[in-house]
């Protein structure tokens, strides 16, 4: 029973749903990259606190908005089941 019984092709709705969950998986990595930007400025002497303050909060709000859109769509498409069956297979690897 080792070969996955997942179908090769999915209906449009399921396909969309998987891509949304892909996006949800990638979002934290985008967050890490953006939040670690100040590191690139390190060692260049003084940096304006006010500028970075604005930068951090703009990134923060943007991430929140994207996360809200993604989580709403994820919750809407699978109202009773938050996870599509079979995703666990990927999770397990």
Partner 1 sequence: MALPFNILVLVCLAYVVFLFLVAFGADKRASQGGSNWLGLPLIYTLSLSVYCTAWTFYGAVGYAARSGLEYVTIYLGPTLVMIGWWWILRKLVRIGRAQRVTSIADLISSRYGKSNGLGVLVTLLAVVGTTPYIALQLQSVTLSFAVFAAAAPGGFEGADLSATALWVAVGLALFTILFGTRNLDANERHHGVVTAIAVEAVVKLVALMAVGIFVVWGVAGGTTEIASMIADSPISNWNINPGRWAGLTFLSAAAFLTLPRMFQVLVVENVDERQLATASWAFPTYLMLMSLFVVPIAVAGLNVLPPDANPDLFVLTLPLHYNQQGLAMLSFLGGFSSATSMVIVASIALSTMVSNHIVMPIWLSARSDEGATVSGDVRHLVLTSRRLSIGAVLLLGYLYYHFSGGGAELAAIGLISFAGVAQVLPALLGGIVWRGAARNGAAVGLIAGFAVWAYTLFLPSFGEAGIMSAQMLTNGPWGLEWLRPRALFGLAGLDPVVHAVFWSMLINTGAFIVVSLLSFPSPLERLQGAQFVNVFEHSASTKGWAHGGAEAEDLLIMAQRIMGADEAQTLFQAQASDQGKEGYLPDTTPDFIARLERELAGSVGAATAHAMVGQIVGGASVSVEDLMAVADETQQMLEHSSQLEAQQKELTTTARRLSEVNEKLTQLSIQKDAFLSQISHELRTPMTSIRAFSEILRESDLDHAAQEKYAMIIHGEAVRLTRLLDDLLDLSVLENGQVQLYPQHEPLSHVLDRAVAATSSLSAGGIAIRRNPEAEEIGLYTDTDRLAQVFINLIANAAKYCEAQAPCLEIKVSQKLGELRIDFVDNGGGIPPESQAVIFEKFSRLSDQAAAGGAGLGLAICREIMDKLGGTVTYLPGQSGAAFRVTLPVAM
Report the interface residues with partner 1, using CB under 8 A: 21, 24-25, 27-28, 31-32, 35-36, 38-39, 41-43, 46-50, 52-53, 56-57, 60-61, 63-68, 71-72, 74-75, 82-83, 85-89, 91-92
| 44-72 residues labelled b (16+ CB within 10 A) or e (exposed) | eeeeeeeeeeebeeebeeebeeeeeebee
> Least CB distance from residue 8 to partner 1, whole Å?
19
> Least CB distance from residue 15 to partner 1, whole Å?
17
9 vs 47, which CB is nearer to partner 1? Answer: 47
> Least CB distance from residue 58 to partner 1, whole Å?
11
Tell me which residue has tokens 């690139």: 40
Q: Cα separation of 86 and 84, whole Å?
A: 6
Residue of 5, 19, 2 lying closest to 77 (CA atoms): 19
DSSP states along 28-40: HHHHHHHHTHHHH
8 vs 39, which CB is nearer to partner 1? Answer: 39
> Least CB distance from residue 20 to partner 1, whole Å?
10
């Amino acid at each position: 029973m080792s070969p996955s019984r997942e179908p090769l092709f999915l209906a449009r709705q399921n396909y969309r749903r998987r891509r949304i969950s892909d996006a949800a998986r990638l979002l934290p990595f985008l967050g890490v990259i953006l939040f670690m930007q100040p590191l690139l400025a390190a060692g260049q002497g003084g940096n304006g606190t006010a500028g970075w303050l604005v930068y951090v909060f703009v990134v923060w709000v943007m991430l929140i908005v994207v996360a809200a859109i993604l989580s709403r769509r994820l919750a809407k498409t699978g109202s009773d089941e938050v996870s599509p069956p079979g995703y666990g297979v990927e999770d397990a690897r």
